[in-house]
Every structure is written in structure tokens, then in C-alpha cells.
Amino acid sequence: MMKKLSIIVLLFVSSSLVWAGSGNVHSLRGDVALDAPATTVTAKEWSVDNGKIVRNYAQQPPLVPHDIEDFSINQEGSDCLGCHNWNSEMPGATKVGISHFLTRDNQALVKISPRRYFCTQCHVPQKDAPALIGNMFKSLAEE
Ligand code: HEC
Ligand code: HEC
């Protein structure tokens, strides 16, 4: 009985702590009300054909230096692979590395590994827009 009571007291205390702490949570929306009228945001242009972007550390998935708006990846196929697959003849398009053909147990596959199929999970295009949240990241080269 005592054990049950102390669990209930503990639950009560911890939930009131959560309640007290929620006042400090700030969303990216700031003080703008949820039902405020939408403002017109002008989307920045995607960076198009900037040439390859230098990587910040050895294991980084390289950033996409071109527009990808017209390319799709779905169950029918991948436009990305059309240019980046090992046997593609697209001049200048870096071929996907051998790592993209390995399962997580390092078994080599003939086709791109399912865990590497959705390219944009890891490779992202760039826009010249201010960062939503500041950060202090420094590449190894700047150290
Ligand atoms: C029409 C051909 C084409 C298609 C389709 C394409 N790419 Fe590319 N991609 C290129 C070329 C060419 C480059 C070399 C840099 C440049 O010219 O922009 C490149 C560069 C890249 C790089 C940088 C590689 C490096 O060595 O730094 C990444 C990452 C990339 N593409 C990812 C993608 C993804 C993800 C998609 C699909 C959403 C895609 N690409 C679709 C042609 C293509
Ligand atoms: C789970 C994350 C992930 C996914 C999904 C993924 N990649 Fe990568 N990619 C990486 C990483 C990490 C690297 C750098 C290390 C390496 O080569 O494996 C890389 C490297 C590359 C390179 C440069 C290879 C080189 O030798 O310089 C290209 C091109 C590329 N990926 C294209 C693609 C394309 C196209 C797809 C979709 C079919 C894709 N990637 C899916 C993580 C990913």
C-alpha cells in the first residue's frame, strides 16, 4: 500500500514539474498566434549548378550543388540514379560510392541498397537563406 501511495505522490510531483517547466518552451513561430493571417513569403531560389561543394568532414554526405525540384524518387524509379548510378553516362555527375550498395551487414548488392534509395534523406540541396537557428559549427578545416 505504502509503495502504491509513494508512486502516486511521485507521479503527481513529476507532472507538476513538467507543467511548471512548459512556460519556458519557445517555438520557432515566436509570439505569432496560430490563427494569424498568413504573410506572403518569397521563397529563395535554389542554388543551381554551383559546382561541387567542399565537405566539412570525411563522412559527410556531399551537399547537392544543383536544383532538384524537377527530380522524383518513388517506387517506379529514381531520377537521381539516372545521372549518379555507377553505370550512368552523365558527364561530371559523381558516381554513387560502393558504400551505397552495401546492406547494414556489409553484404554487397547488385542494386542500390534500400537504405540508400531515398537520396534526399542525406543529400540536401542548398538555398542562400539565413539559418533558422544559429549554430556554432566549425568545419575541421577551420579548427
Ligand atoms: C540530369 C542529371 C542529374 C540528376 C537527375 C541529378 N544530378 Fe546530382 N549532379 C549532377 C551533376 C552533373 C553534378 C556535378 C556538379 C554539377 O554540375 O552541379 C551533380 C552533383 C551532385 C552531388 C554532389 C557530388 C559531389 O561529388 O560533391 C550530389 C550529392 C548530387 N548531385 C545528388 C543528387 C540527388 C540527390 C539527385 C536527385 C534528387 C540528383 N543529384 C539528380 C547531375 C544530376
Ligand atoms: C543514409 C544516407 C545516404 C543516402 C540515403 C544516400 N547517400 Fe549518398 N552518401 C552518403 C554519405 C555518408 C556519403 C559520403 C561517404 C560515402 O561515399 O559513402 C555519400 C556519398 C555520395 C556521393 C559521392 C560519392 C563519392 O565517391 O564521392 C554521391 C554522388 C552520392 N552519395 C549520391 C547519392 C544518391 C544519388 C543517392 C540516392 C540513390 C544517395 N547518395 C543516397 C549518404 C547517403
Q: Is the pLDDT of residue 21 over 60?
A: no
99 within ligand 2 shell (Cβ under 6 A):
yes
Comparing 41 with 106, the larger pLDDT belongs to 106
Comparing 80 with 92, the larger pLDDT belongs to 80
Comparing 103 with 11, the larger pLDDT belongs to 103
Comparing 89 with 16, the larger pLDDT belongs to 89
- Among 19-23, 24-28, 46-50, 107-111, the range with the most confident prediction by mean pLDDT is 107-111
Taking the alpha carbons at both ends of the chain, their separation in whole angstroms is 59
133 contact partners, CB below 8 Å, separation of at least 6:
28
Taking CA atoms, 38 is separated from 32, 41, 43, in Å, by 10, 9, 14
Q: What is the mean pLDDT of residues 30-37?
A: 79
Query: Which of the four pLDDT bands, split at 50, 70 and 90, describes residue 69?
Result: confident
Cβ pair 140, 57 in contact under 8 A: yes
Cβ pair 81, 92 in contact under 8 A: no
Q: What is the reported pLDDT for 43?
A: 53
Cα dihedral 26/32/34/36 (nearest 10): -170
Q: What is the mean pLDDT of residues 55-79?
A: 91
Atom of ligand 1 nearest to the CA of 66: 18
CA distance 56 to 137: 10
CA nearest neighbour of 123 among 76, 87, 80? 80
71 within ligand 1 shell (Cβ under 6 A):
yes
* Ligand 2 binding pocket mutation candidate from 113, 121, 123 (most atoms within 8 A of CB): 123
Q: Is the pLDDT of residue 104 over 60?
A: yes
Geometric angle at alpha carbon 14, from 10 and 18, rounded to 5°: 170
List of domains in the chain: 43-126 (1.10.1130.10)
Q: What is the reported pLDDT for 28?
A: 75
Is the pTM for the entire model greater than 0.75?
yes
Q: What is the reported pLDDT for 49?
A: 66
Query: Which of the four pLDDT bands, split at 50, 70 and 90, describes residue 98?
Result: very high
